[in-house]
Every structure is written in structure tokens, then in C-alpha cells.
Homo-oligomer: A and B are copies of this chain.
């Protein structure tokens, strides 16, 4: 498999639930008005706690006067390195906090991936020693990290895409879901309380012109069925949410804690990090074995 080192320099920030109204103007521009922004990497994810925004320097520049970005206080670890994972419909992104961490990630991954870097428009193979020769490889002998609590909500999720040219067709629905879903609809009877075992989670990303959407089946019903598409029709996913309290920045191995056993069992997964939690989406038919695996891991944390 190939892995490409990209040049994007990204910012990860959070917006509080009540604070979203103040960022409606720049966010709508980033989502819908491609000809008014140079931003090439944008992601907005709603969780019960807050919104996580990832965007590149160009997107950031365009609105420094509006968005007072926090310094990211939690990024999600990958073996010994803090990484932020963002799986989309099209591809997976691993965001590394420091330039120096790149070599650790490359060293960890080069056994399984062919790693490339864009140089003058061409993809050039990269090896660990090209990036930094002074670092020790982090192999399977990695120190066992803290085992974090996991939550497995009941909702079913879909990972979808959309032709960017049809984005205007779902604009009002997407705006409604992203910016107004917390406020009650006034002309309808109040809907039954959402199942307490369900989680509010919605993610939109627009990266290099490709759109990816992750939402549960309840949100999906609000969109026209003919515009959003999944890789295989009706493919549903369940979520494993990791981290019971805000994750400390320096905690490592949170994704690894679940990704390693999943990979060992050949279970595919999407990973989405947010400001305070990590989320893994696994195929619905595998959720029982994943649950068993996680319970086992928690009973015997020292032996994996």
C-alpha cells in the first residue's frame, strides 16, 4: 500500500456548541463557496461536546479576524506520537503535530507502506533515514499505553460522498443539520427524545475538492437519497468511541489501542479524531466481535 506525505499545514480547533452561531459566516463560506476561499483542507465534525474544525493555513488566513483559534490541547496518539486521524470516504489522513514526529510515523509505517513525498510535482519514495536519522524505530515493542474507556453507541452510521457540483442541491439540508439541529423545530411537534444510547455525531469534510460525509441513519433520512452515495449500497457502520474524559495531549497509543486488534482480525475501520475523543467506525456485522475484543483487552490490559 502507498502512503503520501502531504504538504498541508493544518490547524485543529474546537468551537463550543453555543459558539457556533458566531462562526456561521466563515464556515458557510468554507463549505459552500469554493470560489471565495483558497482553503484546500476543511473538516467540521460535531460531537455531543463541541465542534472540531480542521483547516489549512489558507482557510485559516481568510478568517483570522473571525475565528479565535485555540491551540489544540489534545491530539490523538499513534504509538509514541500524538496524531490526529481523519478517515474520509476517499482516503485516510494522519495528522502529525510536530515535524519531528513525522520520522517516527514513517519509521513505524514503512514496513507496511510504500511512503512517498511530493517533490516538484513528482512522487519520490521516502525512507525513515531521509527524514531524520537520529530516531530509533518504534516497532511492536512499543510500551503498552493507558487503556481508555470505550463507548459503543447504538446508532448506525454511513460514510458517504457527493459530487461537489451537486453540493448546492443539499445546501439548505446540510446547513440545517450542521448549524440548527440543536434548536427545536417550531412548526412541528417536538420529536421524541433521541435514544439516550445514541450519540450526536456528524462529520463533513471538503479536501482537495472531494466531499466526505459521516452521519447516522437518522440524519441521512433528511437528505435526498439520490445524491449521496456510499461505496456499497446500504453499508452501515457502528461506532467505538474512545476516551471517557478529555484526552491529554501527551497520551499516546489511543488509536493503536483499537487499530491493532482490528487490523489483526482483518476488520476494516474508519477513524475520526475530534478535539477530545477518538472514534472508530467498524462494519455493523463485526460489532459483536469488536465488543468482545475490547472487553477482553480491558480484562487483561497487560498481555496484548
Contacts and interface: CB of A to CB of B under 8 A. Distances in A.
Interface of A: 20-22, 24-26, 28-29, 32-38, 62, 66, 167-169, 171-173, 175-176, 179-180, 183, 185-188
A182 to B, nearest CB: 11
A275 B137 CA distance: 68
B176 A36 contact: yes
Nearest to A58: B186
Contact of A25 (B37, B179, B187): B179
B171 A38 contact: no
Majority secondary structure of chain A interface residues (helix, strand, loop or mixed): helix
Given A28-B175, A33-B175, 19 more contacts: A20-B25, A21-B26, A22-B22, A22-B25, A24-B24, A24-B28, A32-B172, A33-B180, A34-B187, A35-B185, A35-B186, A35-B188, A36-B176, A36-B180, A36-B187, A167-B172, A168-B171, A171-B172, A171-B175
6 contacts: A21-B25, A24-B28, A29-B180, A33-B172, A35-B187, A36-B187
Q: How many copies does the complex hold?
A: 2
Given A29-B180, A66-B21, A180-B29, A38 B169 contact: no
Nearest to A167: B172
A23 B28 CA distance: 13
A38 B187 CA distance: 7
Nearest to A38: B186
Contacts of A37: 186
Select the residue from A20, A22, A25, A29 with max chain B CB neighbours within 10 A. A25
A282 to B, nearest CB: 34
B172 A36 contact: no
Contacts of A38: 186-187
Contacts of A34: 187
Contacts of A185: 35-36
Nearest to A173: B168
A36 B179 contact: no
Contact of A33 (B20, B26, B176): B176
Contacts of A28: 24, 28, 175, 179
Contacts of A186: 35-38, 62
A168 B172 contact: yes
A62 B62 CA distance: 30
- Nearest 3 CB-CB pairs, A to B? A21-B25, A24-B25, A168-B172
A21 B24 CA distance: 8
A122 to B, nearest CB: 25
A125 to B, nearest CB: 33
Select the residue from A22, A167, A188 with max chain B CB neighbours within 10 A. A22
